[in-house]
Amino acid sequence: MKLTCLGIESTAHTFGIGIAQARFTDSRAAVIAAKQNAKLNGEILANVIKQFTTKSGGIIPAEAADHHVDVCDVAIAEALSAAKIAMRDIDIVSFSQGPGIGHCLRVGAAAARTLSLVHKKPLVGVNHCISHLEIGKLLTAATDPVLLYVSGANTQVIAFEAGKYRIFGETLDMGVGNMLDQFARQIGIGFPGGPQIMKLAAAGKNYIELPYVVKGMDVSFGGILTNIRRKFDSRNYGKEDLCYSLQETVFAMLVEVAERALAHTGKSELLLGGGVACNTRLQEMCRIMCRERGARLYVPEKQFLVDNGAQISWLGILEYLKGTRTAVENSAILPYWRTDEV
């Protein structure tokens, strides 16, 4: 048997269409596996990603939403053609119901409702944060990992424990990516800022002390941002040294809480997810920590780290097997939907 899902991602600056397919011989066993959060076999047939970017300045929600409307039809057509299938071969339509930016979420939700109604396919709304964990399990050898999810808006340490998804630590204010992007905007290097900061950081030589903010299992970035902004404005420090010091400080904080979650849960797999996980220095620091405690690090390839439709299509299949169906009247977006409410 096979089950094919078209998934729509539109929580922020990315509009993505993914097509996932699960294959199994025994559908009852597949349902049980999904309910127990065990690994299920499947593959990604298509993953079309359209990103809204700017040369200077950050994301303006209404502009990002306009971008999503503009690329929607093309992205769906490209995904179907990459997967070499037609809408009639799709069994399920899933979409990111939250959390995310309202303007952007609304575009994906409207597209998903339309496809579901026109083609008479069941609709499944999924939680975006959890989709980063599940796509990592599909595409790597990880079976029961702790996820360090570091993206623009989100920073969370998540794992499935005692029958539900739980947040072991999270940011108390902004996501680490947004913080990097805001600093990037101040120093005039456009959006997204993370990749440019990584390049500048590689040329940094001197570590400049910044606040290190870990509170229990949680982290906070607002104070660090204010501090580094003042340092930049003082003109006493070079951009390269500031970027280098910013990365070293905030990544050390993230590695610390991720390690504590591994210790607390007794799990031995760390999975990375989110756009900031593309950063090779963060990957290196995680690898060192995992090596020191005998854990394994899993890093999906870049197209599955950043926000993408593939993760939404795969979680759509898992939720569908668990029995989730989202009636159109219950398909309103959930911009503040928390991982631990699933």
- Asked if 193 is part of the footprint of ligand AMP (rule: CB under 6 A), the reply reads yes
- Please report, as residue ranges, which positions from 67 to 126 form the binding site for ligand AMP (by CB under 6 A): none
Shortest Cβ 273–ligand AMP spacing (Å): 8
Three-state SS across the chain? CEEEEEEEECCCCEEEEEEEEEECCCHHHHHHHHHCCCCCCEEEEEEEEEECCECCCCCCHHHHHHHHHHHHHHHHHHHHHHHCCCHHHCCEEEEEEECCCHHHHHHHHHHHHHHHHHHCCCEEEEEHHHHHHHHHHHHCCCCCCEEEEECCCCEEEEEEECCEEEEEEEECCCCHHHHHHHHHHHCCCCECCHHHHHHHHHCCCCCCCCCCCEECCEECCHHHHHHHHHHHHCCCCCHHHHHHHHHHHHHHHHHHHHHHHHHHHCCCEEEEECHHHHCHHHHHHHHHHHHHHCCEEECCCHHHHCCCHHHHHHHHHHHHHHCCCCCHHHCCCCCCCCHHHC
Choosing among ligand AMP, Mg ion, none, which partner's interface includes residue 309 (Cβ < 5 to 8 Å by kind)? none
Q: Is 274 in the site for ligand AMP (CB under 6 A)?
A: yes
Contacts of 245 (CB under 8 A, 6+ apart): 204, 206, 207, 208, 209, 210, 228
The region of 114-122, 210-218, 301-309, 321-329 touching Mg ion under the rule CB under 5 A is 301-309
Q: By C-beta, is 7 or 177 nearer to ligand AMP?
A: 177
Size of the site for ligand AMP (CB under 6 A): 19
Q: Which stretch binds ligand AMP (CB under 6 A): 134-142, 252-260, 276-284, 314-322?
A: 276-284
Is 307 among the residues that bind Mg ion (CB under 5 A)?
A: yes
* 276 in contact with ligand AMP (CB under 6 A): yes
Least distance (Å) from ligand AMP to the CB of residue 137? Answer: 17
Q: Which one of Mg ion, ligand AMP, none is in contact with 126 (Cβ closer than 5 to 8 A by kind)? A: none
Tokens in use for 280? 């090779």
Q: How far is the CB of 278 from ligand AMP (least distance, A)?
A: 4
Q: Which is nearer to ligand AMP, 165 or 191 (CB)?
A: 191
Interface positions, 109-128, toward Mg ion (CB under 5 A): none
Site for ligand AMP (CB under 6 A): which residue of 108, 275, 309, 316?
275
Question: Of the candidates 47, 140, 151, 339, which one interacts with ligand AMP according to CB under 6 A?
Answer: 151
Residue 151 touching Mg ion (CB under 5 A): yes
**Between 41 and 280, CB nearer to ligand AMP:** 280
Can you give the C-alpha Rg of the chain in angstroms? 20
42 touching ligand AMP, by CB under 6 A: no
Q: Which does 181 bind (CB under 5 to 8 A by kind): ligand AMP, Mg ion, none?
A: ligand AMP
Interface ranges with Mg ion (CB under 5 A): 151, 307
Binding site for ligand AMP (CB under 6 A): 12, 14, 151-152, 177, 180-181, 192-195, 198, 274-276, 278-279, 306-307
